[in-house]
Amino acid sequence: MGKNEEKYNKRRLQTSYFTTVVSITLVLFMLGLLGIILYHAKKASEYVKENIGLTVIMNDNVPDASILAIKKSIDNAGYIKESKFITREEAAKSLMKDLGEDFVGFLGYNPLLPSLELRMKADYANSDSLKVIEKGIAAHKEVKEIVYQKSLVEVVNKNLRKISFVILGFSTLLLLVSIALINNTIRLAVYSKRFLIKTMQLVGATENFIRWPFLKRGIGHGFIGALAALVLLAGIMYLAQKQLPELLNLQDVKLYFTLFGFVTLLGIIISTISTFFAVRKYLRIRTEYLY
């Protein structure tokens, strides 16, 4: 009878440990997945901002050398991600390709002007920065006009801000819920050992001596849970890239290592802290409240 009870208690304890690890794994997986979503949302917003074009149209009869000098000064300003000089001939060829007609032959001359196509860095793709940049470029006497979609810039930035606030609020909520779930799971696991804790205390064991095996096991559970979560995240990323090859253009290996390190550290920290306070509770509880 004693052996059967011992086997039952051992099996129940193993089940408790397994449940703890699974809970930690699922919570860290969700947090890691949210981190990946946040990263890709940030990269997508940068991509959108950096594709907001700004066209600098030059006056007629401006030498190419002067335009290239302006292009160089703009490139050196620090706010440009990419710039391209488009000659009158290149502009005409592009327009003829779009129209499917030789308008130059029909008109007898090329009415298009040389221009610079600019792509801003994401940090400068907002209304305030673009106004300052526009004013600076317009100061060149060779510049006739600067064209960009002001309303599009405002709409893009406004919508991106809204999305960022929603994601940030959801992230904070999920983090709090995740910590609560891991904490409750560990408290239940320690609860099953409450009599052992009190017995060791009654025979003279110090609090640190009693606490250390639990903390060591908590660190182990956090680490194993984090590794399992990372395997799941790697699988999700692999499947996502198979379905959407375009995601490869947004990858940053260094950032992924940082994210994976954060997930691992978070799992160990939450598990260790929860274990510490759960054990402390039963170290300080009175014997009659154990039942």
Residues in Cβ contact with 144 at an 8 Å cutoff, skipping those fewer than 6 apart? 57, 58, 59, 113
Convert the pLDDT of each residue in 38-50 to its tens digit: 777 777 777 777 7
> What pLDDT shows up at residue 249?
60
Tell me the C-alpha distance between 120 and 273, whole Å: 46
Give residues with Cβ within 8 angstroms of 72, minimum separation 6: none
Q: What is the pLDDT of residues 123-175, one digit of tens each?
A: 887 778 888 888 888 888 888 888 887 766 677 667 777 777 777 777 777 77
Q: Which domains does the chain have, with CATH numbers?
A: 2-47+156-290 (no CATH), 53-148 (3.30.70.3040)
Q: Please name the amino acid found at residue 274.
A: S
Dihedrals φ, ψ of 66, to 5°? -70, -40
Tokens of 65: 């050398």
Nearest to 240 by CA among 226, 256, 254, 227: 256
Question: Taking a C-beta distance cutoff of 8 angstroms, is the pair 80, 120 a contact?
Answer: yes
Report which of residues 188 and 29 the model is more confident about: 29
Instruction: Specify the range with the lowest mean pLDDT, choosing from 6-10, 25-29, 115-119.
Output: 6-10
**Amino acid making up residue 3:** K
- When pLDDT is cut at 50, 70 and 90, the band that residue 287 belongs to is low
Output the six-digit token pair for 220. Answer: 């182990």
Q: What average pLDDT score do residues 228-257 get?
A: 75
Name the band, by pLDDT with cuts 50, 70 and 90, for residue 250.
low
Nearest-10 Cα torsion for 187, 191, 197, 202: 120
Beta bridge partners of 70: none
